[in-house]
Amino acid sequence: MRRVTIYSIAGELGISASTVSRAFSRPDLVKASVRDQVLSKAKELGYAPNRAARGLATGRTGLYGLLVPDITNPFFPPLVRAVQHAAAERDAEVILIDSERSATAEEDLVSRIRPQVDGLIVASPRLPTNRLRSMLDGIPSVVVNRLVRGLPSVVCDNTDALHEAANHLRDVGHHRFALVLGPVGSWAADRRAEAVRSWAHHEDVALVEVGPLEAQFRDGRAAARELIDSGATAIIAFDDLMAAGIIAGLNDEGERVPQDRSIVGCDDVLLAQTMTPSLTTVAAPMVELGAQAVALLNRVVAGERARSITLKGELQRRGTVAAPPG
């Protein structure tokens, strides 16, 4: 059987071999209709691009690294999938790295993988800024879920949605709020906490703070007693996983949500939608986060100047908010 090459495809379509090559290596430079014809003909003829050969010719591997801090946290699997889908549309593949919530491991893992990839997407890094910049020096990179001066970033601004959530809790009658803080060193935890504090500062409500805690179910569960003792009837948790743990802990203490206390999470992971009652939360646009991160990295890899992108969270009103008892 005759081996199918880019020249075979070019001959079938009546276009140049260089156009066929760019359709695989730099699809952003090829007209969409032409690219679709090339990909369709390649599939019909059974052609698969030789990634190793392409790397020798272009100096690129067609691989992107994606570093996450904790793949067991339900926030990250949808992001991973979104990045994979967006990368696949550009004929790139993704190597997943999990630092297991260790800032030191982030540096070691990036050092190991950087020779193998064209660029890196780093999600929710916890390294201090100077060490993060040093770690990413010399390799095209995009940071997700953290703004770092001098590095292209894609972030979700939940400020407006958290203000809306707090207003929702106040409007149904709550006046004493508990803010459950997220992990130390987390940019997202700091931004979310500041959003709630700034809202409370301008409202006739009391705000107590609990934590900081790791974004873990067990940490949320362990905080339930302190939340009950605080007297707060409205709870705003750093994320959905922590909120689920708090609900379990309240249940351990004989309390029900939302009859005894109301709670709001953040991120809108699958758990938030499937638990009973379903969790009122602030949804992050995960598909767009992943797509924008890949698009931004593509521009950085190509040597283009890239500006950071800010998306917006959106409140999802569900079953864990009700009027306070009495």
Give Cα separations from 90 to 5, 26, 39, 116, 222 (angstroms).
Answer: 19, 8, 11, 18, 44
- State the average pLDDT for the chain: 90
Superfamily designation of domain 63-156+286-311: Response regulator (3.40.50.2300)
Q: How confident is the model at residue 302 (pLDDT cuts 50, 70, 90)?
A: confident
Give the pLDDT score at 56. 44
**Lowest mean pLDDT across 11-20, 41-50, 233-242:** 41-50
**Lowest mean pLDDT across 17-26, 87-96, 161-170:** 17-26
**Cα 319 to Cα 316: distance, rounded to the nearest angstrom:** 10
What's the CATH class of domain 6-58?
mainly alpha
In CATH, 157-284 is 3.40.50.2300: yes
Annotated domain spans of the chain: 6-58, 63-156+286-311, 157-284
In the predicted structure, residue 53 carries a pLDDT above the cut 70: no
In the predicted structure, residue 260 carries a pLDDT above the cut 50: yes
Give Cα separations from 55 to 49, 50, 63, 140, 326 (angstroms).
Answer: 11, 9, 10, 16, 68
Q: How confident is the model at residue 261 (pLDDT cuts 50, 70, 90)?
A: very high
The order of strands in the sheet holding 63-68 is 93-98, 63-68, 119-123, 141-144, 153-157, 309-312
Residues in the chain: 326
Give the pLDDT score at 42. 85
**Lowest mean pLDDT across 99-108, 259-268, 286-295:** 99-108
The type of residue at 219 is: D
CB count, 10 Å around CB of 274?
A: 9
**Cα 54 to Cα 137: distance, rounded to the nearest angstrom:** 25
**Cα 117 to Cα 319: distance, rounded to the nearest angstrom:** 44
Give the pLDDT score at 306. 82
Q: Counting beta carbons within 10 angstroms of the beta carbon of residue 231, is it exposed (0 to 12), middle (13 to 18) or buried (19 or more)?
A: exposed
In the predicted structure, residue 157 carries a pLDDT above the cut 80: yes
CB count, 10 Å around CB of 309?
A: 18
Give the pLDDT score at 50. 60
* CA-CA-CA-CA torsion sign (266, 268, 274, 276): positive
**Cα 106 to Cα 270: distance, rounded to the nearest angstrom:** 27
Q: What is the per-residue pLDDT across 160-188, written as a single tens digit (0 to 9) for each?
A: 999 999 999 999 999 999 999 999 988 99
Q: How confident is the model at residue 2 (pLDDT cuts 50, 70, 90)?
A: low
Give the pLDDT score at 8. 84
**Cα 322 to Cα 326: distance, rounded to the nearest angstrom:** 12
Q: Looking at residues 246-273, what average pLDDT do you find? A: 96
In the predicted structure, residue 52 carries a pLDDT above the cut 70: no
The owner of tokens 């690294």 is 65
Q: What is the per-residue pLDDT across 63-80, written as a single tens digit (0 to 9) for each?
A: 899 999 989 899 999 999
Domains 6-58 and 157-284 agree in fold = no
Q: Model pTM?
A: 0.78
The owner of tokens 């390649």 is 42
Look up residue 253 and give its two tokens.
């203490």
**Cα 120 to Cα 149: distance, rounded to the nearest angstrom:** 17
**Residue 209 vs residue 62, higher pLDDT:** 209
Name the DSSP class of 31.
-
Q: What is the per-residue pLDDT across 140-154, written as a single tens digit (0 to 9) for each?
A: 999 999 998 889 999
